[in-house]
Structure 1
Amino acid sequence: MQVTETLNDGLKRGYQITITADELDAKVNEKLTEAQPGIEMKGFRKGKVPMALLKKQFGTRLLGEAMQEAVDGAMSDHLEQSGDRPAMQPEIKMEGEDWKEGDDIVVSMSYEKLPEIDQPDLSQVTLQKLVVKADDTAIDEALNGLAEQARNFEDRAEGEAAENGDQVTIDFVGRVDGEAFEGGSAEDFPLELGSGQFIPGFEEQLVGAKVGEEKVVTVTFPEEYGASHLAGKEAEFTCTIKAVKSPAAPELNDDLAKQFGAESLDALKEQIKERLEAEYAGAARAVMKRGLLDKLDDLVTFDLPPTLVEAEASQIAHQLWHEENPEVHGHDHPEIETTEEHTKLAERRVKLGLLLAELGTKNEIKVSDAEMTQAILNQARQYPGKEREFFEFVQQNQQVQQQIRAPLFEDKVVDYVFELATIEEVEADKDALKEAVEKLDEE
């Protein structure tokens, strides 16, 4: 085998690989020798078929397999000896259109290698960490939100009319063109007026109703209504009002706390405080991570593989186009051209992605099986009743596994850098933190 360099330009590499006919013939013979003991042929005992006959019978069939293995082996040997790490799968082309059995094989191989990246002095990186405590106002807001969830409804005084926000208990029968339709009737149905639970216009017509009254509500089903036989049609609902109740906020006491699994109101407040501060810490980490990436972007410089940048820029352009055209869900749309802005953003992403990957590799940072399993289980919970199917799907799909592993790996590398960097804690309030988080979306 002979390897000749044909291109050496920045990160671009090109080679011509020649595999002689003798080398290829030896590989075919090797395969036949391995298979010979198990081959049976008429007129010969098992394992005793002459090699010449085997070659005549099976040689041509094995030739293609031997060629592929020879090329793959040559490529692997070259990458191992050179130490090159291709940014993407190398491009392999066979040269010569008139190749025939007995000729040497000549193939061209080209790729872009990953750059050499020196680890920066991470101890020189200085970051600010916003520290936000949950104050009484924030705790009270969250507590009142829980109380709103737990609110009850109490009967209004006899003869009082229903108001928006009240709960009415009704029996109703719906008719289209005078005929009752399936799913259009119910008894003792509790409906909160103003909740938007029913189709537009229904709940508003029950404001002012009193217990014992019968009201006819006339509405038109939306054109995009799920049941096609009702879409766009006018319907009448005969409603009997059986109860009118006004909302009554529960008292903020130990009984309320027990509804949410806490032993007392003070214990519930402490749980709320811990939850809020965990949320603040998560947001502060996101802000600090952006600060770190900005520092690293300024701190390191190295050549970027053009194909990676082009692919990333194309993906960014495609994603942004779909965000601007949400009505288009598929890929049946005009070709999307990348702009200088897309390319600039792609260069940053590729640069930081390669740097973090290199930091993780050199410092032996890995995502454990337990961490992967936990992440998969967390995602599986988004599919109630189908958790097992989702888990099995991920286990059988390497690409999906990589999509789950990548952010876990990045976060572990970022945490590693945080440990080496100098971090200054800065006390702040939740408004300052909110403003800092909003800026993340603007940049």
Structure 2
Amino acid sequence: MNPVNAGVAADFSNDVWWIWVIKAAAILVFLLLNVLLAIWAERRVLARMQVRSGPNVHGPFGLLQSLADALKLLLKEDMNVKAADKLVYILAPLITVFASLLIFAVIPMGPTVSMFGVETPLQLTDMPVAVLYILAVASFGVYGIMLGGWASGSTYPLLGSVRGTAQVISYELSMGLSLVSVFVVSGSMSTSTIVNAQAPFWWCLALLPAFLVYVVSMVGEVNRLPFDLPEAEGELVAGHMTEYSSMKFAWFFLAEYINMFNVSAIATTLFLGGWRAPWPISAINDGMFNEGWWPFLWFFIKMWLVMFFFIWVRGTLLRFRYDQFMNIGWKILIPTALVWLVAVSVVQAARAWADVDLSTLLWWIAIPLGVVLILLLVWPSKKEPEPVPAGPKDFDPLADGFPVPPLPGQVLPPAPRRRTVSATIVSSSTTPETDPPSSSTPSGKEASDG
């Protein structure tokens, strides 16, 4: 145990002030370079998914495209809205990007290494409540979104900021509840201690429902498709960023991508074993790949796998409606996380009472569940004959409050205007003036001849 900071597995007792400065600068450079790489990678991956090329002109494989875009934002004219609250208008993007840069301070990226002759962990700092610190900083970032939309003095930015606030509140709850089960099993809220607790196996396997809840919540937390409601282009132009330009817009844009790396690093640390090598690499030569600078590679790969998941989801799913988005958060994720938390607490209490190893207990739970799932898959089900539709039936497309297209077998009722036009045509066709001349009535030429 660290004698300087009790309850923390990492030992920072050898750190001096210049080591702190080097680590902080390295984290800043690491995040900025990863953001440039992420923008390029997202464009290339989405292009491949949509059968097109993507950026391929500036530099080899278009690698300099992100740098060109950053320079363009830096050199663009800086516009200020006359109706804006100037101080808050300028302060809002700085709050957002400042909050996004604080989370990596407690993320362990490797074990103790030698850095310029000093034995120090690959982590800036840690504390017994590090995960609570992460949740607090993530919640603080929404103030930038809210203040930016409010200070712009425009309708669309205000609507986007209100949506962003409601979104963060909703999905922060489900995210926090999914992380509580990690605290219960690990016995600590220190990030380095949680990584050490995953030495036998990763928590994404033992706490699979909590991991799934976290994955959905992290997408909603960073406002990415299909949950990008605060900046829905088709509804709100660009949401809370509509009235921003040049570098002030770039700060918001930068904070969004840094937050993607933040939640990816949290998922890696709390559920994917952190910097530990995956099996069977971890078993080679008594774990030689879990020592030195090798673990930083495993952390980097895991974090980018989660980032690829963000890009994959964006290229696959469409944006949810706002009511669907809120229903997922409040009616599915939060109840699921609460039920799972109660189940984990009961299992931990039973484990402490019976003095059973966690691995053994998980096997006793997993084997019966696996048998039940296999039986459900192979058990023949008696299919009921599908009822034959009696014929097309009318339905109300506005019954749920919004227009719904008809399903197969359903027929839209005739529109009121169509009924009015049809009735007018029928009534006019029966008047004597519009009746066609009968064969017994002489034509004009015959009448003149007569």
TMscore range, shorter length? under 0.3
TM-score (structure 1 length as normaliser): 0.18
Bigger CA radius of gyration: 1
TM-score (structure 2 length as normaliser): 0.18
Pick the structure with more strand per residue: 1
Pick the structure with more helix per residue: 2
